[in-house]
Chains A and B, each alone.
Chain A
Amino acid sequence: MLDFLNSQGTIYVSMVLGAVLGLSLYLPLLAGQLSLASPGFYALGGFVAAVMSTKTFEVKGSFPIHLVLVELVVAAVLCGALAFIVGLAALRLTGIYLALATIAFVEVLRVFTLNLELTGGAVGIFAIPQPFGTQLSYLWLAAPLLIIATLFTWRLEKVRAGRAFAAVREDELAAASMGVDTTRAKITAFVLGGVLAGLAGVIAAHQINTWSHRQASFDASIAYLAFVLIGGSRTFLGPVAGGLVLTYLPEWLREQAKHEFLPAWAAEFLRTGRFIIYGVLLAASCIFFPRGLITPELLRRIKRIGRGGSRPPEQKLRAEPEAVA
């Protein structure tokens, strides 16, 4: 059993980090900001870890865990500061314009990390020291990060700051006229998303041992957006579920190729052509689950079943508009 878990460790850790990245895109979206900048901060966090662990700290043998914590702090501060600047600059932009600006930000960052000596140029940074012996042990870092991020987002939606986000998301002008500091809400949401993506990057860099400019790609931007939209963009559980499921999907497809009853061509297709299926499923789930897999209605229904289903349906107090941003 443990052997099996260990062999699957890489994918479990990636799934958990996928969920964190989904949340990192969900946070700005809470304040109505469609930001696709997460891969940029993710890459930056990873480079912080890669550079510090290979160049700053001289460690022999296993990499001590407290230094990873130091890297997490540095990455959080750096990504937060950069997100603050980018968020401030992008304040005027909304909707697709903001999305395009954040894509441009990721691309500029990628070209710089591709060319700077510090970040290892085209090949990137190799042999990043490992704090753990097995891949599965990385859950000791990734799982707490996901749990904290999830609880944080859950609580955030209940407190004043989170309510301000929701107000900005529903109607910025109305929110401003009610005395909500919309600038502050938008930037805070942006910074939270950036910090979270950076933290995920630190863990990922150690886990996959090598880090390069390829981590900051446009495809990643849209993949994380898919985590949120397909998981469900109206509850914090949506991006978590989306990140877990969509990260696992290509791996699951590859596993299926091992079944013996499959004809040779089908097994071959699952191995080398599995991203064709992934693409088709991505498009199909947009069509068949336009509001995502996990919607607030679904959660309400589950709650009602949990209570025995005797109560009449609750009266809807809050309207649930269709639009995401």
Chain B
Amino acid sequence: MRLLFQKLLNGVAIGSVYALFALGYTVVFSILRVINFAHGAIFTVGAYITYALTGAAFGKNGQLRNASLPLELNFWLALALGALGAGVLGVLVERLAFKPLRERGSDPLLTLVSSLGVAIATVNILQYLFGAENYSFGETLGSMRASVTLVGGELPVVIRTKQIVIFAVSMVMVVGLTLLINRTRTGKGLRAVAEDLTTARLLGIDTDRLIRLSFFISGVLGGIAGALIGLAGSFNHQFGVAIGLKGLAVIVLGGLGDIPGAVVGGLVIGVAEAFVPAEYNAYKDAVPFVVLLVVLLVRPSGLLGRAQVQKV
């Protein structure tokens, strides 16, 4: 029972970041009906910026050998600025890989390749500048304790402080995003654009601005997720690839473009991974994709989604 509870805790903590990350895909997909394959790279950049802003030094293999910023922000400020930086990168990705194609009215499929092109460039710039080594944030966050013991005894149930931070930040972001979309004028605009881009434009909505905004939001969500997952373990220039793929499983599970669905999907995948028995740990990485395959075959519209009727 206690073991079960501990696994559930771990699963929810990691699942909340999956949800956060996948929301970044969702915000863009709901509007443009395309997947931004640069999202994993933005996620990685979020971790790097946050790391640099805390004043930590980089390794000796990149072009910027042993470089570090002359300032030492606390983690929260660094996280916020890292998220902003990732948001700006998101807007840049839109400008470079999406807007030119949209203006020319080319096939939306091409954005898969153009956004991956930007992702390849971004990730390799990181490697070029900072090398291929693993980086990690310190063991503790400032003066906070490393962990809280919920239930003591022989089989203790322990929450790491980092897990609490990850879960809390993720939930704040999810709630914030939901409020933004459902309660504000901007959110109304985003919903209108998601419903029908052309009609929204005809009605006088500045669609280009809202598309930019959606990429900014997406970047912020990705950047925070990057810093949080980097916080939980270690990261390098490659670490966006695996989560980039898991995020795809999450959004399909939740139904493409569905915001509550992405949150539920993230939690389900996180918990499902945590419950993989230890002896099959090596197969853990396959879990999201087995789930994805099953969902696609059984219920392609996702857990919470409505079936789409094909019109002729």
Tally of contact residues, B, Cβ under 8 A:
47
Q: What total count of A-B pairs have CB within 8 Å?
A: 142
Question: Is A108 a contact partner of B286 (Cβ separation < 8 A)?
Answer: yes
Is residue B282 within 8 Å, beta carbon to beta carbon, of the partner chain? yes
Query: Chain A, 88-110, contact with B by CB distance < 8 Å: what is the 0/1 string?
Result: 01101100110111011101100
A307-324 contacts to B (CB < 8 Å): 322-324
Is residue B49 within 8 Å, beta carbon to beta carbon, of the partner chain? no
Q: Given known contacts A100-B296, A283-B97, A287-B101, is B286 in contact with A107 (CB within 8 Å)?
A: yes
Is residue A252 within 8 Å, beta carbon to beta carbon, of the partner chain? no
Question: Is B296 a contact partner of A325 (Cβ separation < 8 A)?
Answer: no
Question: Is B300 a contact partner of A97 (Cβ separation < 8 A)?
Answer: yes
Question: Whole-angstrom distance between the alpha carbons of A101 and B120 in the complex?
Answer: 22
Question: Whole-angstrom distance between the alpha carbons of A308 and B49 in the complex?
Answer: 60
Q: Hey, which chain A residues are within 8 Å of B115, CB to CB?
A: 283
Smallest Cβ-Cβ distance to A272: which chain B residue: B128
B138-167 contacts to A (CB < 8 Å): none
Question: Is B122 a contact partner of A290 (Cβ separation < 8 A)?
Answer: no
B276 to A: closest C-beta gap in Å: 12
29 A-B pairs, CB-CB below 8 angstroms?
A90-B297, A93-B300, A100-B248, A101-B297, A103-B248, A104-B249, A104-B292, A104-B293, A107-B245, A111-B283, A111-B289, A115-B283, A218-B245, A219-B241, A222-B113, A229-B107, A229-B109, A276-B120, A276-B121, A278-B120, A286-B101, A286-B106, A286-B111, A286-B114, A287-B101, A290-B106, A290-B110, A322-B106, A324-B109
Q: Residues of A at under 8 Å CB distance from B?
A: 34, 89-90, 92-93, 96-97, 99-101, 103-105, 107-108, 111-112, 114-115, 173, 218-219, 222, 225-226, 229-230, 269, 272-273, 275-284, 286-287, 290-291, 322-325
- Which 8 pairs show the lowest CB-CB distances between chains A and B? A279-B121, A282-B117, A279-B120, A283-B117, A290-B106, A286-B114, A111-B286, A104-B289
Q: Residues of B at under 8 Å CB distance from A?
A: 34-35, 37, 96-97, 100-101, 104-107, 109-122, 124-125, 128, 241, 244-245, 248-249, 252, 256, 282-283, 285-286, 289-290, 292-293, 296-297, 300, 312
